[in-house]
A and B are shown apart, each in its own frame.
Chain A
Amino acid sequence: GAVVSQHPSRVICKSGTSVKIECRSLDFQATTMFWYRQFPKQSLMLMATSNEGSKATYEQGVEKDKFLINHASLTLSTLTVTSAHPEDSSFYICSARNRDRPYEQYFGPGTRLTVT
Chain B
Amino acid sequence: KQEVTQIPAALSVPEGENLVLNCSFTDSAIYNLQWFRQDPGKGLTSLLLIQSSQREQTSGRLNASLDKSSGRSTLYIAASQPGDSATYLCAVMNSGYSTLTFGKGTMLLVSP
**Residues of chain A within 8 A of B103, CB atoms compared:** 43
Cα(A103)–Cα(B96), bound, Å: 5
A54 adjacent to chain B (CB < 8 Å):
no
Is A44 an interface residue when CB atoms closer than 8 A count as contact?
yes
Closest to B101 in A: A46
The dominant DSSP class at the B interface is strand
Secondary structure dominating the interface of A: strand
Q: CA of A32 to CA of B99 in the docked complex: distance in angstroms?
A: 10
Number of interchain pairs (Cβ within 8 Å): 49
Which interface class (under 10, 10 to 19, 20 to 34, 35 or more) fits B? 20 to 34
CB within 8 Å for A110 and B42 given contacts A43-B103, A46-B99, A103-B96? yes
Contact assessment for B43 and A107 in the assembled complex, using a CB-CB cutoff below 8 Å: yes
Using C-beta atoms within 8 Å of the partner chain, give the interface range for chain A: 20 to 34
For window 64-89 of chain B, which residues contact chain A by CB distance below 8 Å? 89
Bound together, the chains give a CA A108 to CA B42 distance in angstroms of: 9
**When the two chains form their complex, are residues A109 and B43 in contact, meaning their CB atoms are under 8 A apart?**
yes
Collect the chain B residues with CB atoms within 8 Å of residue A106's CB: 46
Which single member of B31, B43, B49 contacts A93 (CB below 8 Å)?
A: B43
Q: Which of B15-44 contact A (CB under 8 A)?
A: 31-32, 36, 41-44
Residues in A31-61 with C-beta less than 8 Å from chain B: 32, 34, 41-46, 49
A residues near B (Cβ < 8 Å) are 6, 32, 34, 41-46, 49, 91, 93, 95, 102-110, 112
Top 10 closest A-B pairs, CB basis?
A: A109-B43, A107-B44, A43-B104, A43-B102, A110-B43, A44-B102, A107-B43, A103-B96, A46-B99, A108-B43
What residues of chain B have their CB less than 8 Å away from a CB belonging to chain A? Answer: 31-32, 36, 41-46, 49, 51, 89, 91, 93, 96-97, 99-100, 102-105, 107
